[in-house]
Chains A and B, each alone.
Chain A
Amino acid sequence: MSSKINIFTKGSLDITPLLIPVIPFGIILGVIGMELGFGPYVTYGTSLIMFTGSAQIVLIQLMSAGASTFVSLTSVAVVNSRHLLYGAVLSEYLDKLSLIWKIFLSYFTSDQSFAVSYKYLKLNKSNINSHYYLLGSGFTLWLIWQISTITGILLGSIIPEELGLSFAIPLTFISLLVQEFRKLDHVIVMIVSGMIAIFAYNIPFKANIIVASVSALIVAAIITKFRSIK
C-alpha cells in the first residue's frame, strides 16, 4: 500500500518542474476565453471536459472566428492526434491493467505526464504498481491546469482589452515549438503550414487551418520517406 502512495508521490514530484510553463499557459487560456467572450463556464468547461491545453486554445479561437463545427472538431482531432503516439507507447506498459484503470488513466494522459512517465515505466517494467506513477504525474498536472484556468478566468474579467492579450495565442504556440526551431525539417514543415494558412485564409468555415495542417503533414511524410531512402 505504502509503495503505491510512494510511487504516486514520486510521479507527482517528478512532474513539478514541467509545471512552470503550464501555469502561465493555463492563465492565458482563462484570460483569452474571457476576452473572446466565452464567459467563465464555457472557458472552464474546456479545461474540465477536454483537459488538453493547446487544442483548447485552438478550439476557442476557431469558434470565436466563426468556424463550422466540423472544422472545429477536425482541428481538435488533428492537434490531439499526437495522443495516438503516446497511447501506443504507453500501452506496452499498461497491458496488464483492468479496463477500468485504462478508462481512468486515459483521461489524465498529457504531454508532460507522458514525458516523465515514459522514462519511469521503462526503468520499472517489473513493478506491478508502476501505473501509480502515471496517475500521480497526470493528476498533479490536471489539478494545476484547473487552478490556472480558474485564475485566468478571474484575471480575464479585470484585465483591460487595450492590452491586446489575444496576441498571446500565437505567442503561446510559438513557445510550444521552440524545441524544433533548430531542426531544418521541422522549420520547412512550419513554413509550409504557415504560408498555406495565410493564402487559404479566405476559404469558408476557417478550413484554412485544416488544409494547411494536412498539407504540412504530407510534406513531413515526404521528408520522412526521402530520409529513409538515404
Chain B
Amino acid sequence: MIWTTVIFSGLITYLLRFSMIALIKREMLTEKTKIVLSYVPSAVFPAIIFPAVFLDANGYLLLIDNPKILATGVAVLVGLISKNLVLTIFSGLISYWIIIFAF
C-alpha cells in the first residue's frame, strides 16, 4: 500500500515534469496561470508548517508553553534577515533544543 502510493506519487511527479516539456503546447498555460502557479509554495507549505507548530500531538491548539512557537519565531527572524536556507533550519532546531533541554 505504501509502495503503491510512493510509485503513483513518482508517476504524478514525472508526468507534471514531462507534460509541459513534451506533450502540451505551451500556449495552453496562460500568463495568469503562470503567475498563480508561482504562489504554489506559499499556498502549500504553510498548510504543513502551521499545524506542526501550533497544534499538539492530539490536534489541539497549544499556544502557551509551546517551545515550537518560540523556535519557529527565531527561524523566521533568521530567515528574514539572512535569506539563508541552512541557517534558517538550524537556528530553529538549535533554539528548540535549548528550550527543551535547558529549561
Beta-carbon contact of B22 and A99 below 8 Å? yes
Per-residue A-contact encoding for B63-103, CB less than 8 Å = 1, 0 else? 00000100110011001101111101110110011001000
Q: How far is the CA of A38 from the CA of B21 in the complex (A)?
A: 33
* Chain A residues closer than 8 Å to B88, beta-carbon distance: 171, 174-175, 178
Q: How far is the CA of A103 from the CA of B23 in the complex (A)?
A: 11
Beta-carbon contact of A174 and B39 below 8 Å? no
Closest chain B residue to A214, Cβ basis? B43
Known contacts A45-B6, A72-B5, A90-B21; is-contact A216 B46 (Cβ 8 Å): yes
Q: How far is the CA of A159 from the CA of B4 in the complex (A)?
A: 28
Beta-carbon contact of A194 and B26 below 8 Å? no
Closest chain A residue to B101, Cβ basis? A162
Interface size class of A (residues with CB under 8 A): 35 or more
A141 contacts the other chain (Cβ, under 8 Å)? no
Q: Is the interface of A mostly helix, strand, loop or mixed?
A: helix
Beta-carbon contact of B89 and A78 below 8 Å? no
Beta-carbon contact of B12 and A73 below 8 Å? yes
A191 contacts the other chain (Cβ, under 8 Å)? yes
* Chain B residues closer than 8 Å to A49, beta-carbon distance: 6-7, 9-10
A107 contacts the other chain (Cβ, under 8 Å)? yes
**Chain A CB within 10 A, most for which of B6, B38, B41:** B6
Closest chain A residue to B82, Cβ basis? A178
Per-residue B-contact encoding for A114-135, CB less than 8 Å = 1, 0 else? 0000000000000000000000
Beta-carbon contact of A83 and B20 below 8 Å? yes
List residues of A (67-113) whose CB comes within 8 Å of B's CBs.
69, 72-73, 75-88, 90-92, 94, 99, 102-103, 105-107, 109
Query: Which residues from chain B sit less than 8 Å from chain A, CB to CB?
Result: 1-10, 12-14, 16-22, 26, 29, 32, 34-55, 59, 61, 68, 71-72, 75-76, 79-80, 82-86, 88-90, 92-93, 96-97, 100
